[in-house]
Structure 1
Amino acid sequence: MMTMIRYAALLACAAVPMTAAAETAPTEVTIDAGRIRGAVEGKVVAWKGIPFAKPPIGDNRWRAPQSIRWSGVKQTTEYGHDCMQKPFPSDAAPLGTEPSEDCLVMNVWRPAGAPANAKLPVMVWIYGGGFVNGGSSPAVYSGAKFAEQGIMFVSFNYRLGRFGFFAHPALTAAREGMLGNYAYMDQVAALQWVKRNAASFGGDAGNVTVIGESAGGGSAINVLTSPVTRGLFNRVVVMSGGGRAPLLPARKISVDQPQVPSAETIGLNFAKSVGVDGTGPDALRKLRALSADQVLQGLSMMQLFVPPGGVQTYVGGPIEDGTIVTGTPQSLLEAGRQARVPVMIGTTSADIGFGGAPTKDALFATFGAGASAARRLYDPTGNADIRALGAAVAADRGMTEPARYVAGMVARAGQPAYYYRFSYVADSVRATQPGGATHASDIPFFFDTVHAKYGAALTPKDAAMAQTINRYVGNFAKAGDPNGGTPARWTPYTPANNFLMDFAADGSARGGPDPWKAKLDLVAASNPAVQYRTIRTPVAVR
């Protein structure tokens, strides 16, 4: 362990030094929308709350992002509003600003001493939160540590809940542009903004890595597979983002399917719930005149864990629109329709999943012919708690095996795939998390913002692990290879070598064959399109 701590100290020494040049680093830059002024924050310069589109309010509610310009110099030293939502107390990354519909803003960090023509590699962060919560303002999402590695780091907000995913016949009839996935439209607009403006901050628009976690990880997979994002990125990092079928049905904009109503049908349900009838221009005016709270209706992550009942008034997330979303991740990967770029992908060791069964027999029966083998692998002593078993199986079906699947498909296409598992649990919470690293607990380690998460409870071992992971991810963003000045060699995954980098419980980075191969093979064999809808049991929240 002392080796890891010494290694962390060396990394700290190798970080971009504070110099006189950094202290006087220019904080004003010109982007395509106008001039902005940021601030020096230690070893980095940060610009926060940069508008990348007009506020999506009034007539711009449920429209693609609209371009914005301003005159004079805009002060961009504070985070803008996070997008409209109802925060919840157990959020792994509590918001730093008051939610609002006026939320389409960017944040940028770069090393303070970087010259204007530095051609810095760029990282773009997409937050998670089930598409109903989250924002770019949480302290654990600061890009400062990546900037200290010589990276231009970008984060942004995208619309959530009914503001981000919504359809209604009146919107379709209005012919105002793309429909349904307004959150994804925001994400595409953000990547286009980076393409146009990275050079203004010393960044290289030809060297962009998209990184996302949970719903953001699913969004990163959408970036990888969507036809509208081509040319906007060069590699992808997926943290607990699934990778086979979505957890929700593949819903269409206008076409009702058996037991899967269209987004328009659900939009009509919502309109009726707020007293709006009709499908013409007057109905659209009334919907856009609703207050933000009326549209929100208290929607948050907590409601997503409640079994559905009554009339459905929210589509639940991304919609298959035929433009941005053209299929499930699995169907697109198997058709070879993903971008040919390097991918880093993995999960936490006790990740989130949905599903379960009332008895062990019922649970293992879901493995079909592999039921006996699954019982031996998941419950070798026969003493495991049914809830814990259900959680483990659900996490493997929803997150762990799909991550391995994506790595295999990327490798099959001839691109490097770096497969990982985050098994480390911070010292201060280990006693309360005996099952392993929970969903989203990896974020402050990837960002090296563990000080913001754990404060005075942070230990040298925690800090060392964060610096190690942050270095691997930073290296990947720079050149598509996580190795370099790191403690263990990370070999690209192939189904033949089964190589996994485990950020292990003891604080080490340990590469080798995935010890979970046998049970993940059973999960894959029992797939096809595994559905996780027997019992909706929250395993972790985020």
Structure 2
Amino acid sequence: MRQYRNDQLTLTMPSPVLDRRESTLPLKRKTHDSRRVSLSRRAMLSSPCARTLYLALVCACLLFWAASTYRQDILIGVAVGAGGVVEGPRVKVGRTVYEGRVEEDGAIEFFGGMRYALPPIGVRRFAPPEAFVEPAEHESERVMDASRWGKRCMQTPSALRPVSDMSEDCLTVNVFRPAGLDASKPVPVMIWIYGGGFQSGTASVYNATSIVRRSVALGTPIVVLSLNYRLGPWSQSPTSPNLGLADQALALSWARTHLPAFGGDVEKTTVMGQSAGAMGLWHLILQAAEKERGDGVWWRGVGAMSGGVDTLPLYQPHVRLPTFLAFASSAGCPMSSNPHTRPTPRLERMLTCLRAVEDPHVLLDAHRAVMDAAMSAVNGGGGDVRMMSGGIVDVGAYGQFPWALSGISVNGWEERVRKAMEGKNVLVGANLDEGVQFVPANMHTEADALSMLTRTFNSSTRAERLWSISSPGGEGDGVVRDTVARILGDVWFHAPVRALAKNVEKAWYYHYTYGRESGHVLHGAELQSLFWPSTTGEGMGFKMLDRWVSFVVHGHPGDEAWKPYPSALELNVKPRSVPLWRVEQIQAAEDVLKEMRGEWAR
């Protein structure tokens, strides 16, 4: 029950709070002379007409209050028919009815902000996710507002990421489907996992309306599900690492169980991700394949854009722990340095302190302090100590991603992935200029670059090897930065993606080059074509969309010119089959990644 309390007034009503905890909201009331109020009320109710008007007013107020309490967006996304305003589309999942909204022209239905896990707050902060529990059979059926996106998970705020749009209570999924879809005739499913270096991003950035609308226009409708997962320090803990990955696994489980109610054919599910979303996806595949029980990799296809198994570092505990300790200390919860107490109890006491922090802005400020220190290490660190302000370990350019995955072994991943993906569909690729926006500041000379690359790859020999094979020669800031960009792009994106293409049974491999005529084709550039294509039904967006929809529906991109690896498709306004590019450089980058397995940054 929800109770609205004042010092002398308590109003109790059924609570719409999903975790069934009580919440309070003050009610303002004026203090009047009781005699005067009693007399005026008696006079007002003296005639039948006055009583009727009074009761009508009371009913109207109660209806308005109920609407504002339970359905704050009751007028958003509803359809209008001959009888006036009617309810939005509804889908029943167990004993919960989700009421969504109709998008734009009425062709697409949206259901957003649906919980797949309990809010990770209080004792559940820095702990593995707990599945959201549907009402029991004996409990009343409930209607939930699903007309809005859920909040984005906590992350460094910016002009495009306001704090007001964030919450720790963020573990939700969203579904887009064709309007009027008959659940008895299910259609293929695409699941989307966003990227952002495991420290930023949200599902609400990726409106899948264009994808679903295009699938309908092609005569092959699909359902799209997107999900939120924890980021930054909220996704890591010394005792429970990689919580964001656990969130993703639980969301996929929710999708498998509940998407049939939305008309999705889970036997024809393709999971797609970009950047960190793609990297996390491959680690979900490795985890699922290693489970002794269960169905392993239950989805039939994978679309991994600009992300592989080792795109970002897999930090060892002695690299990750100082970062988390710096965060905890900045939040007012330093770990005890008592040498007579074992580390584990001290860590647990530190986590207990962090879970008791009531103001999420305290944790957000601590996170910002860690990110500032990490970037300081990226742009100015060096030396043998490898320790920067706040105790953060200097890992070169990798320091831009202090909250990447940790404690995972990737030794022999090639064979494990090959086995897990037998008989399944794979689509992978990367963009032309992946590394440009990740070049650290202060890269002016070859010496600057080699110093940074030595810290990044933990070896001057590796740095010099990659430089010699990638540098076109010459001097100047432009040449230096371009060379560093090529090296980072090769090691972080092209090499991991190509390694996957050649280590699975069959993969459709692409090289996204659209826009090269006018400038760099940056990391993430392909997302514009996938989620925000032109509205004319032509252009680059639909060149890509048509192939991605075909891959979800049929298991292949539907392009005769696009042959599986070792062939590739240059994805441009005029897509064409091309031979592999930068073979020597990308192979050298792959060799460096293999050498770094098990080292301090992996």
TM-score (norm 1): 0.74
Deviation at 1:334, TM superposition (A): 3.9
Output one character per residue of 1:341-380: Cα deviation in whole Å (capped at 9) or x when no partner: 22111111110376787418958974767876x25xx517
SS in 2 for 1:307: helix
Cα distance in 2 between the residues matched to 1:302 and 1:441: 25
Distance (Å, rounded) in 2 between the aligned partners of 1:241 and 1:158:
17
Q: 1:501 aligns with which of 559, 569, 574?
A: 569
Q: Secondary structure at the match of 1:511?
A: strand
Aligned counterpart for 1:212 among listed residues 262, 273, 288: 273
Unpaired runs of 5+ in structure 1?
A: 1-19, 173-178, 253-259, 321-325, 452-457, 534-542
CA gap 1:249/1:159 in 2 versus in 1, 3 angstroms: closer
Q: Could you tell me which residue of structure 1 aligns to residue 530 of structure 2?
A: 446
User: Is 1:34–1:72's contact at 8 Å kept on the other side of the alignment?
Assistant: yes
In the other structure, the counterpart of 1:251 is 316
State the match for 2:108 in structure 1: 44
CA distance in 2, matches of 1:285, 1:83: 21
CA distance in 2, matches of 1:97, 1:477: 35
Q: Distance in 1 between matches of 2:162 and 2:112?
A: 15
d(CA) in 1 for partners of 2:528 and 2:87? 27
Query: Matches of 1:65 and 1:442 in 2, distance apart?
Result: 31
Which of 546, 567, 570 in structure 2 is aligned with 1:471?
Answer: 546
1:210-249 CA-partner distances (Å, limit 9, x unpaired): 1111111211221232235824322111111143x35324
1:3-402 equivalences in 2 (<5 Å) = 27-32=89-94, 34-41=96-103, 42-68=106-132, 69=134, 71-89=141-159, 98-138=165-205, 141-148=206-213, 149=215, 150-167=221-238, 172=239, 179-227=240-288, 230-243=296-309, 245-252=310-317, 260-261=318-319, 263=321, 266-276=323-333, 277-278=335-336, 279=345, 283-290=350-357, 291-297=359-365, 299=367, 303=372, 305-307=375-377, 309-312=388-391, 316-320=403-407, 326-328=408-410, 331-335=412-416, 336=418, 338-340=420-422, 341-352=424-435, 358-359=445-446, 362=450, 366=462, 374=469, 378-379=471-472, 385-402=479-496
Aligned sequence identity (%): 25
- The one-letter code matched in structure 1 to 2:225 is V
> What letter corresponds to residue 493 of structure 2 in structure 1?
M
Q: Structure 2: how far apart are the matches of 1:128 and 1:189? A: 18
Task: Name structure 2 gaps, 5 residues minimum.
Answer: 1-80, 136-140, 216-220, 337-344, 379-387, 393-400, 454-459
- Summarize the Cα distance change of 1:529–1:237 in structure 2 as closer, same or farther, 3 Å threshold: farther
CA–CA distance in structure 2, aligned partners of residues 96 and 502 of structure 1: 40
- Structure 1 Cα separation of the partners of residues 591 and 203 of structure 2: 38
User: Is this contact kept in 2: 1:79–1:97, CA < 8 A?
Assistant: no
**Compared CA separation, residues 271 and 72, structure 1 to 2 (3 A):** same
Whichever of the two has the greater Rg, that structure is 2
User: Do structure 1's residue 516 and structure 2's residue 577 form an aligned pair?
Assistant: no
Higher relative contact order structure (alpha carbons within 8 Å, sequence separation ≥ 6)? 1
Task: Give the alignment's TM-score, normalised by structure 2.
Answer: 0.67
Cα contact 2:129–2:250 (8 A) shared by 1: yes
8 Å CA contact 1:191–1:232 kept in 2: the answer is no
Counterpart of 1:55, as a letter, is P
Give, in angstroms, the shift of residue 261 of structure 1: 3.9
Quote the offset at 1:518 in angstroms.
3.8
Aligned to 2:165, what secondary structure does the other structure show? Answer: coil
After TM superposition, the structure 1 stretch with the greater mean CA deviation from structure 2, 292-301 or 182-191, is: 292-301
* Secondary structure of 1:125's aligned partner: strand
Give me the whole-angstrom Cα distance separating, in 1, the residues matched to 2:155 and 2:592: 37
1:408 aligns with 2:502: yes
> What secondary structure is seen at the aligned counterpart in 2 of 1:102?
coil
Query: Could you tell which deviates more after superposition, 119-128 or 27-36?
Result: 27-36
Q: Match of 2:32?
A: none
**Residues of 1 paired with 2:375 and 2:303: CA distance?**
26
Conservation of the 8 A alpha-carbon contact between 2:327 and 2:367: no
What is the rounded CA distance, in whole Å, between the counterparts of 2:226 and 2:163 in structure 1? Answer: 14
Task: For residue 312 of structure 1, report the CA deviation from its aligned partner.
Answer: 4.0
Letter matched to residue 339 of structure 1:
M
Name the counterpart of 2:28.
Answer: none
Tell me the C-alpha RMSD between the 2 structures: 3.4
Count of residue pairs the alignment pairs up: 450
| Equivalent residues of 1:401, 1:524 under 8 A apart | yes
Secondary structure of 1:385 counterpart: helix
Q: Deviations over 1:107-156 (max 9, x none)?
A: 10111142112221111111111111111111xx1111222211110001
SS at match of 1:425: coil
Change (3 A) 1:268 1:359: closer
Aligned to 1:8: none
SS of the residue 1:311 aligns to: helix
Does the aligned pair in 1 maintain the 2:211–2:530 contact within 8 Å? no
Equivalent residue letter for 1:77 = S
Alpha-carbon distance change, 76 to 50 in structure 1, aligned in 2, over 3 angstroms: same
- Distance in structure 2 (CA, Å) of the matches to 1:289 and 1:474: 46
Alpha-carbon distance between aligned partners in 2 of 1:402 and 1:81, rounded to the nearest angstrom:
32
